Amino acid sequence: MSNAPAEWYQQGQWPLVGAIVGLLITNDAVLIGIYLQVKYNVKPQLTIKQIDLVSQQLAEFYNPLYSLILVNQSIFNAVGPFAFPDDSIRRDAAGEVWTEIKMKLLLPNNQRIQEILRTKTHLLTTDDRA
């Protein structure tokens, strides 16, 4: 064996420092790889979850409410008090029809609206308020 002097990187603490630096670089590279992989795998899943939430909001909350409100509005505009004729006999008949329609259509619709609002408000978007 030769008695040649050791290089600077072979003396003192340098071998330990070199091993630690190499380990840190390797770990950083692995962690960055894991982060990027998770980011690219989770983003599509989050998008799918957001689409599912919007679909559920529309199917269970907004569309039923909108439909029931439109039905109530069209009924009210067609046969409501504003549509009553001026003739007293026809006005009384229209009042009776209106009472029947209120009891058989509007009140059940309003009860359904109330039920939706009571049970599905968790589906409100952050922009809406109850």
Domain coordinates in residue numbering, the chain: 14-123
Where on the phi/psi map is residue 8: left (φ > 0), alpha (ψ -120 to 50), or beta?
alpha
Selected residue with higher pLDDT from 19 and 4: 19
* Lowest pLDDT segment from 14-18, 45-49, 60-64: 14-18
Segment 51-83, tens digit of pLDDT: 999 999 999 999 999 999 999 999 999 988 888
Tell me how far CA of residue 97 lies from CA of 101, 102, 104, 126, in angstroms: 6, 9, 10, 41
pTM for the complete prediction? Answer: 0.65
